[in-house]
Amino acid sequence: MTDSLSPDLLVLGGGPGGYIAALRAAQLGLSVVCVEKDTTLGGTCVNVGCIPSKALLGSSEHYEFAAHHAAEHGIRIAGVTLDLPAMMKRKDAVVAQNTKGVEFLFKKNKVTWAKGLGTLQAGNVVEVRAADGTATTYRPRHVILATGSVPVALPFLPFDEERVLSNVGALKIPEVPKRLIVIGGGVIGLELGSVWRRLGAKVMVIEYAPAILPGNDADITKEASKIFTKQGLELHVGTKVTGGRRDGDRVIVETETNGTPRRFEADYVLVSIGRRPSLTGVDAAALGLALGRRGEIVVDDRMRTNLPNVFAIGDAVGGKLLAHKAEEEGVIAAEVIAGKPVHMHYHNMPGVVYTWPEIATCGLTEDEAQAAGRAIKVGKYPFSANGRARTMGNTEGFVKFVTDAATDEILGCHMIGPNVSDLLSEVVLAMEYRGTADDIGGTVHSHPTLSEAVKEAALGALGRALHI
């Protein structure tokens, strides 16, 4: 029997990649220790990322509906007021439910949670130092590095989480800002900017690229820009941040657009210009661990590093920083360790932006497909023509397919509209098995549902959409 200090596997990091790797390995019969330095499991995603941001997004959507849109449905609500402390308390309760849920799963699957800061040493020895200073040494057969990522700061605007905020501080502002500057028009900036805009802040988004949501399909970014501007977000694209500083209870940000300088002032600024791999507890140079040019851990398609019996997953290995990507990598690493002939691939990795309307994508954009020399067909269907969307009063957006002109294989799908985060799954499944537009267009979809827009867009790529 394996000694508790010499487990089959030690996972360094209890985020979505790490805890899933630990659970899957335990399912496969391995003895597992998961090291987590924070007081709760779940990592950035559960504690200060995906879960709390979606809780606030949901609450702020309810507030905006009650204050501004309920009357459209014949519901008269007088004197709607915001109780921000109660909203934050609910957000914290949702986080606690999730973190306790992970802890329960560890107990159920007999995964040991080693509480403390783990340090990987030569020979795959891991020392875990608890908060009280006591140290425990583990000698596992295999190690998975799941150390996550941290937000990138601007050198002239270091995070203080009081006025200059990362995603962490932006989730717990004690008041609704009068003015909020968001530097970075990507997923985090738009989601959290949307929360505070709905609650009453004037939100100014500054994006260096020519459009928000860089890397997305051009039709999506164009539609999103139109909708978000209509909602009240102030978008400044093609704008470079050249300087900034905190001045008491205000923040000043200097910018330049096409050579023209401009100064923005606000009571808070959210800096969301990206994240970088975190290697806390891992001295790559001393260990001889190979890193990429962005500081990410280099792995093969089985999540193996260049060190014997050391694997790495999640944000620490770079690529798209997505919780579900980390989870899949964790499963692959655990199964490889258990001897299964599996490997990781990324070509059907979905992505979602939880603004309202939502944005969901998978595969190649139209421009990417054309740049790759593919002859393509495009099918596009607006939610304004969908019966269910009309009944909901949410008719903005569309579903767009990019397909191979010769075979009708689905190369990409891009959606903006109500609940599209849930609509994308059937497309991802189809793409995983190299499905065609005809496969989705020929599948019966319940009526009236939003999913009919997916069917119609697929039929549109075949030149035979019925309801437009």
pLDDT tens, 257-277?
999 999 999 999 999 999 999
CB 424 within 8 A of CB 362: yes
Residues with Cβ within 8 Å of 410's Cβ and at least 6 positions away in sequence, in order, are: 363, 401, 402, 403, 427, 430, 431, 435, 436, 437, 440, 458
3 state DSSP class of 74 = coil
Given this model, what pLDDT does residue 362 score? 98
H or E segment and range at residue 102: helix 84-108
pLDDT, tens digit, 9 for 90 and up, residues 179-233: 999 999 999 999 999 999 999 999 999 999 999 999 999 999 999 999 999 999 9
Alpha carbons 245 and 164: distance in angstroms, whole number = 9
Q: What is the 3-state secondary structure (H, E, C) of 343-410?
A: CCCCCCCCEEECCCCEEEEEECCHHHHHHCCCCEEEEEEEHHHCHHHHHHCCCCCEEEEEEECCCCEE
CB 417 within 8 A of CB 383: yes
Task: Say which DSSP state 175 is in.
Answer: S
Q: What share of the chain has pLDDT > 90, as a percent?
A: 99
Beta strands 268-271 and 164-165: pairing type?
Answer: parallel
Alpha carbons 137 and 420: distance in angstroms, whole number = 47
- Mean pLDDT of all residues in the chain? 97
Alpha carbons 112 and 232: distance in angstroms, whole number = 48
- Give 1's pLDDT tier (boundaries 50, 70, 90): very low
Q: In the predicted model, is pLDDT for residue 150 greater than 80? A: yes
Alpha carbons 138 and 4: distance in angstroms, whole number = 8
Can 69 be counted among the known catalytic residues? no
CB 190 within 8 A of CB 170: no
Given this model, what pLDDT does residue 216 score? 97
Could you give the domains of the chain? 9-151+276-337 (3.50.50.60), 164-273 (3.50.50.60), 351-461 (3.30.390.30)
Alpha carbons 10 and 33: distance in angstroms, whole number = 5
Q: In the predicted model, is pLDDT for residue 22 greater than 80? A: yes
Q: In the predicted model, is pLDDT for residue 7 greater than 90? A: yes
Beta strands 351-353 and 358-363: pairing type?
Answer: antiparallel
Of 5, 306, 297, 275, residue with least CA distance to 139: 5
Rounded mean pLDDT, 429-434: 97
Catalytic residue among 62, 69, 345, 447: 447
Q: In the predicted model, is pLDDT for residue 5 greater than 60? A: yes
At residue 417, what are phi and psi to the nearest 5 degrees? 165, -175
Alpha carbons 102 and 97: distance in angstroms, whole number = 9
Q: In the predicted model, is pLDDT for residue 407 greater than 60? A: yes
Alpha carbons 217 and 123: distance in angstroms, whole number = 46
Given this model, what pLDDT does residue 2 score? 52
Write out the DSSP string of 185-219: -SHHHHHHHHHHHHTT-EEEEEESSSSSSTTS-HH
Given this model, what pLDDT does residue 79 score? 92
Write out the DSSP string of 449-463: -TTHHHHHHHHHHTT
Q: In the predicted model, is pLDDT for residue 110 greater than 50? A: yes
- Give 3's pLDDT tier (boundaries 50, 70, 90): low
Rounded mean pLDDT, 365-389: 97
